[in-house]
């Protein structure tokens, strides 16, 4: 497929921004500015980027506890994101939600979720609403190999199937449920094969290759808009570290981790951009500088933002 | 009839608002196990009256997702006992979405279900579980006792922007009562004096209201005029109405079908003692279900939850307390 330079640049800008968001936030975490749970999307950036590039502005996404990448790829604002993970009043959730609960109705981001699998029926529900309204949108429903072993996955895939809903089940198979390897948690680690039992079209792709993700999602969008949804895409990937920022991930075999760190989504996206357009190293450095600059400004904004007012919080909860 | 009033409420709201739809097991062709959704499939079609497989967690979650994206779903869970399968979607998702999103995302969802004992349906189909949902911030909780209340409250619940747990009572579906001809709604959070009196306040809701009214009637033979208050919605709770009555009667009995331990009655008692301690002439009496699963045998089942004579005895104990 032919791509414009502009499009490839946009993909690279997004994928690089996610990478820089996560690495910078981990630094803020180490400085004690971020507390609680923080689940980096490092190593999986191509999935959110490729999927969201194939969506329209009025489509929906459902995110997960590892959700920063989805939010950024959907066009979320870095300032509000950093402010939220710092717990500030100017954050997406006014400091009430934190890393695991960012939602952004303006970009159709129905929200991240602290319950593994909890978002799956919610995404199907967005699809049901579309079907009732007859509005020709689609839902990209991100979930993980871990969530695929929760009962709601089986139920929800079936509901989406019997009601022919325009839902793209994006199974981010990073091969670990927290610390449990998928080969031990499922007899069939290629999880897309489950879809056949529900009469749902499914495929498996390299989740680290942003163009592979984009192309497969584009097909899935067409299938859904033709009324032949749902579709399931299994995107194989691997985390660059443990389950969350304080998990060293010592259970991840070194050779496999090394392989995936080399087979890196950011590197692959850069290669696509270099080989498929006349973009130079210099141009790439400019894209990266722009993203770094935006992230610095976001951190500055967040650090200077006020804490939520305890008084107004207590006033609000009186109404409960 | 209670079930017809509920049906009218659903129908009127579906006509009024295109985003309202119904989803549940056997609610379409079959019209629901308790006939609440009868004929609605014919009128509104399968896009708005949706029969779902036995996947309670996911079909309820589906309604949460639809609500977040602009629809107003009314999901039916056949028995409140089965809401145990749905707790994540109610407690972690529906109840918290608005809060977690900093107020940006609304969840206008109604979960209709029914509870209570009295039909020999045994331990997994007879519970009164309102305390579970009373406990969770972010939910509203409605438990109507009459056809008129059922209709007016369901209409308000559907128009509400927060998730509402709407618990009907299985013994009430055939209950008759007047329902206004003209359109009306009943505001959530407004209790109702079902019977005025000045000697003792009795608070009861759902299936306990008619039993309490019968007890109040028989208490008149002893010269006791009981005021019966039905809060109708437990969240929000009309504490003003309750306190006003208690300040007048100076005696309070709370009748609850649910088990005694950790129940809503205990919480109401704690509110009243904190706000109206000086007015009370006797300890607050809580008459509640026994701390037991509901037994199948009819005599054992009756013994598990408050009956009319138990209410009479509890009131006398309170009024005659020195």
Relative to beta strand B192-195, strand B226-230 is: antiparallel
Size of interface A-B (CB pairs under 8 A): 133
Structural contact between residues A96 and A87, judged by C-beta atoms closer than 8 angstroms = no
How high is the pLDDT of residue B321? 72
How high is the pLDDT of residue A172? 98
Residue A241 contacts by C-beta under 8 Å, 6 or more apart in sequence? A40, A42, A43, A247, A248, A249
The residue among A58, A125, A151 with the most chain B CBs within 10 A of its CB, best to mutate, is A125
Question: Which residues of chain B, if any, have pLDDT below 70?
Answer: 322
In this prediction, residues A175-181 reach a mean pLDDT of 95
* pTM of this structure: 0.96
- Using CB atoms, pick whichever of B55, B73, B92 lies closest to residue A115: B92
CA distances from A43 to A156, A181, A264 (A): 27, 17, 7
Q: pLDDT of B41-83, one tens digit each?
A: 999 999 999 999 999 999 999 999 999 999 999 999 999 999 9
In chain B the domains, ranked by start, together with CATH numbers, are 2-169 (3.40.50.970), 192-319 (3.40.50.920)
Distance from CA of B102 to the nearest CA of A (A): 4
The residue among B19, B67, B69 with the most chain A CBs within 10 A of its CB, best to mutate, is B69
For chain A, what percentages of helix, strand and coil (3-state, to nearest 5) are there? 50, 10, 40
Q: pLDDT of A58-83, one tens digit each?
A: 999 999 999 999 999 999 999 999 99
- Quote the CA–CA distance of B48 and B27 in Å, as a whole number: 11
For domain A5-318, the CATH architecture is 3-Layer(aba) Sandwich (3.40)
- Compute φ and ψ for B305, nearest 5 degrees: -125, 155
Q: Do B66 and A163 touch (CB under 8 A)?
A: no
How high is the pLDDT of residue A170? 98
**Model confidence band, residue A193 (pLDDT cutoffs 50, 70, 90):** very high
Q: Does B97 touch chain A (CB under 8 A)?
A: yes
Q: Does B61 touch chain A (CB under 8 A)?
A: yes
Break chain A into its structural domains and give their ranges: 5-318
Among the listed residues A46, A178, A51, A185, the one whose alpha carbon sits nearest the alpha carbon of residue A123: A51
CA distances from A108 to A73, A234, B211 (A): 12, 22, 50
Structural contact between residues B51 and A159, judged by C-beta atoms closer than 8 angstroms = no
Distance from CA of A129 to the nearest CA of B (A): 5
What's the complex ipTM?
0.94
Q: Do B137 and A320 touch (CB under 8 A)?
A: yes
Q: Which position has the token pair 């009868």? A: B38
Residue A251 DSSP code: T
- Quote the CA–CA distance of A17 and A207 in Å, as a whole number: 18
Residue A249 contacts by C-beta under 8 Å, 6 or more apart in sequence? A179, A239, A241, A242, A243, A257
For the question of residue B169 being annotated catalytic, the response is: no
The torsion of the CA quartet A119, A122, A124, A129, rounded to 10 degrees, works out to: -150
Q: Do B71 and A132 touch (CB under 8 A)?
A: yes
How high is the pLDDT of residue A1? 84
- Using CB atoms, pick whichever of A91, A105, A126 lies closest to residue B66: A126
Cα A107 from chain centre? 13
Among chain A residues, CA nearest to B62: A125
Structural contact between residues B134 and B141, judged by C-beta atoms closer than 8 angstroms = yes
């Amino acid at each position: 497929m032919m791509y414009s330079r502009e499009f490839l640049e946009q993909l690279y800008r997004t994928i690089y921004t996610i990478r820089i968001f996560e690495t910078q936030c981990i630094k803020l975490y180490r400085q004690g500015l971020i507390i609680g749970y923080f689940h980096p999307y490092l190593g999986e950036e191509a999935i959110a980027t490729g999927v969201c590039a194939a969506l329209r502005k009025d489509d929906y996404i459902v995110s997960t506890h590892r959700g920063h990448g989805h939010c950024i790829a959907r066009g979320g604002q870095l300032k509000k994101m950093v402010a939220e993970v710092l717990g500030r009043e100017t954050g997406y959730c006014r400091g009430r939600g934190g890393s695991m609960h960012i939602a952004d109705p303006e970009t159709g981001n129905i929200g991240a979720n602290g319950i593994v699998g909890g978002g799956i029926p919610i995404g199907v529900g967005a699809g049901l609403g579309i079907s009732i309204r007859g509005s020709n949108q689609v839902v990209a429903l991100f979930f993980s190999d871990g969530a695929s072993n929760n009962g709601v996955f089986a139920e929800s895939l079936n509901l989406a199937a019997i009601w022919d809903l325009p839902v793209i089940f994006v199974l981010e198979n990073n091969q670990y449920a927290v610390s449990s390897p998928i080969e031990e948690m499922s007899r069939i680690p290629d999880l897309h094969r489950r879809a056949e039992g529900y009469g749902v079209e499914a495929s498996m792709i390299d989740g680290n290759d942003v163009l592979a993700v984009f192309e497969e999602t584009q097909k899935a969008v067409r299938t859904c808009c033709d009324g032949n949804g749902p579709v399931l895409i299994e995107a194989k990937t691997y985390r660059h570290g443990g389950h969350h920022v304080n998990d060293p991930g010592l259970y991840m075999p070194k050779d496999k981790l090394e392989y995936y760190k080399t087979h890196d989504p950011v590197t692959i996206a850069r290669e696509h951009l270099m080989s498929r357009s006349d973009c130079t190293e210099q141009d790439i450095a400019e894209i990266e500088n722009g993203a770094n600059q935006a992230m610095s400004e976001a951190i500055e904004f967040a650090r200077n933002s006020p804490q939520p007012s305890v008084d107004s919080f207590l006033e609000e909860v009186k109404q409960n | 009839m209670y079930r017809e009033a509920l049906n009218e409420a659903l129908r009127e709201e579906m006509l009024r608002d295109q985003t309202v739809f119904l989803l549940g097991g056997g609610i379409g062709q079959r019209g629901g196990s308790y006939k609440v959704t009868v004929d609605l499939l014919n009128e509104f079609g399968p896009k708005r009256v949706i029969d779902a497989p036995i996947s309670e967690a996911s079909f309820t979650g589906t309604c949460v997702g639809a609500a977040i994206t602009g629809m107003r779903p009314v999901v039916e869970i056949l028995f409140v006992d089965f809401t145990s399968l749905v707790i994540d979607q109610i407690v972690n998702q529906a109840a918290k979405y608005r809060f977690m999103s900093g107020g940006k995302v609304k969840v206008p969802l109604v979960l209709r279900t029914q509870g209570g004992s009295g039909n020999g349906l045994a331990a997994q189909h007879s519970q009164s579980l309102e305390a579970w949902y009373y406990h969770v911030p972010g939910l509203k909780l409605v438990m109507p006792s009459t056809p008129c209340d059922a209709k007016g409250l369901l209409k308000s619940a559907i128009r509400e922007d927060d998730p509402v747990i709407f618990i009907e009572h299985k013994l009430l579906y055939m209950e008759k009562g007047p329902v206004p001809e003209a359109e009306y709604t009943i505001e959530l959070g407004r209790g109702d004096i079902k019977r005025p009196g000045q000697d003792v306040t009795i608070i009861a809701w759902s299936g306990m209201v008619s039993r309490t009214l019968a007890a109040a009637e028989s208490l008149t033979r002893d010269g006791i005029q009981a005021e019966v208050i039905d809060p109708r919605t437990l969240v929000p709770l009309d504490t003003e109405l309750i306190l006003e009555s208690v300040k007048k009667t100076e005696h309070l009995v709370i009748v609850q079908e649910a088990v005694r331990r950790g129940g809503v009655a205990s919480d109401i008692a704690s509110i009243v003692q904190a706000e109206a301690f000086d007015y009370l002439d006797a300890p607050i009496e809580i008459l509640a279900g026994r701390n037991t699963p509901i037994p199948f045998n009819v005599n054992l089942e009756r013994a598990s939850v408050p009956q009319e004579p138990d209410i009479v005895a509890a009131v006398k104990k309170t009024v005659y307390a020195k």
